[in-house]
Amino acid sequence: MRMRAFAAMACAAAALSLVGTGTGTATADAVNPGDYMIGDTVYFNAGPAQCSIKSDGTTGCDIAPGIAKWLNIIPVTDLAIDVPFLPAHPTFGVFGHYGRADANTLPQGDGYGSTITYAGATCSGGGRGAIQCTAKGHSFNFGWSGTTTT
């Protein structure tokens, strides 16, 4: 009897994972990267950051002071994904700025912000004070809930 109950629960779990729970999830609105292009780089502002995605997928954000902490210890004012063999990291301004003050701001969308994709990189932001970028197999995010890099 126990084996039947276990098998029934396993089948139910598999069915739910294939079908979903039906609760739905909120998503950010996609924007056209061409609207943010200057030269061969996409520049955008979102919340407390000015960010860019270069044509090679290099992604980075200049962040207002007091927002992000690398390893949840060291205050940083930038984060970047610039080479595939390193996780997202601060550059401490060594390579200059990533953003432009005159760049277009990502729209707020439905409260979850917007997503921009270019050169294999994707960034979401503008909603609820958080920004998340993925590129070259790594990611970073920062905002009211803390900072994470992978």
Contacts (Cβ under 8 Å, ≥6 apart) of 37: none
Whole-prediction pTM: 0.79
Which DSSP category does 106 fall into? P
Condensed to tens digits (0 to 9), the pLDDT of residues 50-95 reads 999 999 999 999 999 999 999 889 999 999 999 999 999 999 999 8
